[in-house]
Structure 1
Amino acid sequence: MKKTLTLALVALTLSAGIAVAQDPIEGVWQTQPDDGAFAHITLAPCGDKFCGLISKSFRDGKEFKSANHNKKLVYDMVPQGGNKYEGKVWRPSNNKVYLGKMSLSGNVLTMRGCVAGGLICSKQTWSRVK
């Protein structure tokens, strides 16, 4: 009995050690419309940073298969503390890469694409899908 209890405790301890805390930005986010379309972006770890792939695209409220499907929109995002992140963002409509800044508040992710070392930024507010 004692041996069975010990084995059960060891198994429970090992399985608890395997569980890894998920970062709050991980999940699927809906972008604001940009040039008449919006997308679902799946944010997940990529190495020691975070990346966001275009997982679905919508135009006029209907899903369509975009040429940008599965492309990275967000990459090299590094946590800065206080639910803030910095990395890079790609804007498909003009094929430019910008300094990216993200700020998380509950189920709202404020995304900024910046130029001039972060002095001039354009922002979007994304909402959590799941």
Structure 2
Amino acid sequence: MKSILAIAAATLFLSAGAAFADPIEGNWKTQSGETASIASCGGSYCITLKTGKYAGKQIGKMSANGKSYKGSITDPADDKTYSGSASLSGGALKMKGCVAAIFCKTQTWSKL
């Protein structure tokens, strides 16, 4: 009986953890068609490409700042890193990378 209760408690605990996941976490379709995974990593959120030419490459790291995110984003094609930000709106994630806060490029990713 105790083992059944322990299993039930563990199952409840694990499912509750998923319910408290940050909305940025999960798989996203990038504007160029690849899949990127965003997962918690040491108090921040790491962005890793799952498909495409650069699959497996970490391309960013962001920290939550209220309802937005700030950190860095790397262009995998030239391996240059830019100051980055992200904001959520429903199932859309706007990713923005900037050089000197003047020259910026924005992409919109969709939740998978």
User: Smaller-chain TM-score range?
Assistant: 0.7 to 0.9
In structure 2, what residue type is equivalent to 1:121? C
Q: Distance in 2 between matches of 1:74 and 1:105?
A: 20
1:121: how far off? 1.3
Q: How many percent of aligned residue pairs carry the same amino acid?
A: 37
How far apart, CA to CA, are the structure 2 residues paired with 1:128 and 1:32?
11
SS in 1 for 2:50: strand
Query: Where does structure 2 lack aligned partners over 5 or more consecutive residues?
Result: none
Map of 1:60 onto structure 2: none
User: Corresponding residue for 2:72?
Assistant: 88
- How far is 1:15 from its partner? 5.9
Q: What is the aligned length?
A: 105
- Name which one, 1 or 2, has greater alpha-carbon Rg: 1
In structure 2, what is the Cα distance between the partners aligned to 1:81 and 1:119?
23
TM superposition outliers: structure 1 runs of 4+ over 6 Å: none
Candidates 75, 90, 96, aligned match of 1:106: 90
Amino acid in the other structure paired with 1:119: I
Unaligned stretches of 5+ in structure 1? 58-65
Q: TM-score, normalised to structure 2's length?
A: 0.82
The aligned counterpart of 1:72 is 58
Whichever residue aligns with residue 101 of structure 1, its letter is S
Task: Give me the whole-angstrom Cα distance separating, in 2, the residues matched to 1:87 and 1:114.
Answer: 11
Q: By how many angstroms is 1:125 displaced? A: 0.5
- In the alignment, which residue of structure 1 is the partner of 2:47? 52
